[in-house]
Amino acid sequence: MRAYESLVREHQTIAFRTAYLITGSAADAEDVAQEAFIRAHAALGRFRRGAPFRPWLLAIVANQARNRRRGDGRRGELAVRVAAAPAGEQRALDHGLIADERRGELLAAVNALPEHERLAIACRYFLDLGEDETAEVLACARGTVKSRTARALQHLREGLGVRDV
Amino acid sequence: MSELERELSALGGELFPPAPDLASAVAGRIERAAPAPLRARRLTLLAATIALVLLTTAMAIPAVRHAVLGLVGVQIERVKTLPAASSSCPLGGGGPRVSSVSEASQRAGFAVQLPRGDAQPDAVYLGLGTRGGGVTLVYLSGGALRRQAVLSEVKGNLDYIYYKKVASDRHTKVEYLGIRGDTAVLLSGARHVVSYAVSDGRVVSYRTCLAGTTLLWRRAGVLYRLESELPKAELIGIARSVGR
């Protein structure tokens, strides 16, 4: 059990964030992530030896989170929301964070994307998942992830008036 | 990576609430929910069905309903073997989520009380099972109560009952306490099984879940159930503070 606890600690942040992305609620995300780890433990016998654990776990998390979302009757919108910066907080570009105004524009543009594109962007950039892991979370083919991400980036560039170099 | 992609990556670091520490909660739930062999599970399912029928019958008899440790709405039974717990026991009890405590009060038909003056929960759910009639407040680790805690409140009627089973071969401690003159019971140590049953002559919800340390008390016509791994003294302190 100690080994599994270590595994949980190693992956709990990405599991929680993935669940939060889909459910939009910290309480639901905590609950979903817990359930997912328990289900993963119960299914360890079916886990392919030598395969990476994280994509397999994230597929379980995403599935649980989608079920929770469906159960709550919530559909349509991706959970990622622009959290308003605390009053008076100034985020500086030289600290590696994007300025508040630009941040707001960018998030508004992401939220305006069709859901499947928003999820692709969220997985690839907000969660920093690879294409294979994103495919597991979104339950689609890797090629679909590539095309959705490319389309989403194009839509964002158009929406933001960005000329990429 | 383009400038836009770099900006998106930077943004990702700011969007998420802090992740809770799940390891001990997961380990605890797994240890108590180790699957029994198939045959045993079938027998357990059968036993659970029988228990459900017995529970329905018992709840139909007022004398039995009232003879529950002086705590109306609660029944504790020591059993040889714990029944299998459901694989789906959400913290919020499985009922619909509502946006605020005031909405929950309005929909549940009574004033939901918060602990410690005004400790705001991280999530609020209606019902104990799949139906309304009670309210469940979920506090996350790092929230207003510092540790994960679930506080359920059920207004006065006898339609609800917490049917708790304690394995005789495990070290679940059952203590009877007085809190501000009200009868209370604390279950601690090894996990126990709790079923949520709702009856108005028929059982409409029945779910069997594993539960950790739980304090139950009744005050001003409301049955409270607080589950948390907070120390006993803090649980009692929270119970004292509710409704003040």
Which element (helix H / strand E) includes B151? strand B149-155
Nearest CA in chain A to B16: A17
Among B162, B102, B108, B163, which Cα is nearest to B135's?
B108
Q: Could you report how far apart the first and last alpha carbons of chain A are, in Å?
A: 50
Task: Please indicate whether, in this complex, the C-beta atoms of A8 and B97 are within 8 angstroms of each other.
Answer: no
Contact state of B4 with A157 under an 8 Å Cβ cutoff? yes
Residue in A18, A25, A38 to test binding to B, most B beta-carbons within 10 Å: A38
For the record, the structure tokens of B225 come out as 């159930």
Residue A50 C-beta-side C-alpha neighbours within 13 Å:
0
- Residue type for A75, please? R
Write the residue in A17, A126, A164 that is nearest to B4 by C-beta.
Answer: A164
Query: ipTM, 2 decimals?
Result: 0.81
Question: For residues A88 and B215, which has the higher predicted lDDT (pLDDT)?
Answer: B215
Report how far residue B72's alpha carbon sits from residue B74's, in angstroms, rounded to the nearest whole number.
Answer: 6
B38 touches chain A (CB under 8 A): no
Sheet with B160-167, side-by-side order of all strands: B74-79, B160-167, B192-199, B203-211
pLDDT of residue A100: 59
* Mean pLDDT estimate for chain B: 73
C-beta atoms of B140 and A30 within 8 A: yes
Given an 8 Å threshold on Cβ–Cβ distance, is B27 in contact with A5?
yes
* Mean pLDDT computed over B66-87: 67
> CA–CA separation, A68 vs B181, rounded Å?
41
Structure tokens at A42: 């119960």
Percent of chain B whose predicted confidence (pLDDT) is above 70:
71
**Residue-wise pLDDT tens digits, A19-72:** 988 887 777 888 899 989 998 988 888 777 777 888 899 999 999 998 887 766
Q: How far is B190 from chain A (nearest CA, A)?
A: 17
| Residue B100 contacts A where some CB pair is shorter than 8 Å | no
Residue B137 in 3-state DSSP? Answer: strand
DSSP string of B180-213? TTEEEEEEEES-EEEEEEEESSSEEEEEEEEE-S
- By the 10 Å C-beta count (0-12 exposed, 13-18 middle, 19+ buried), B200 is classed as exposed
Min Cα distance A62 → chain B (Å) is 16
Residue B129 pLDDT > 60: no
CA of A129: how far to CAs of A32, A39, A133, in Å?
19, 22, 6
**pLDDT confidence bin for B45, thresholds 50/70/90:** very low
Q: Are A8 and B23 within 8 A, CB to CB? A: yes
What sign does the CA torsion over A29, A30, A32, A36 have? positive
Cβ partners under 8 Å of residue B200, min gap 6: B159
Least confident of A27-41, B90-104, B122-136: B122-136
- Confidence band (pLDDT; 50, 70, 90) for A141? very high
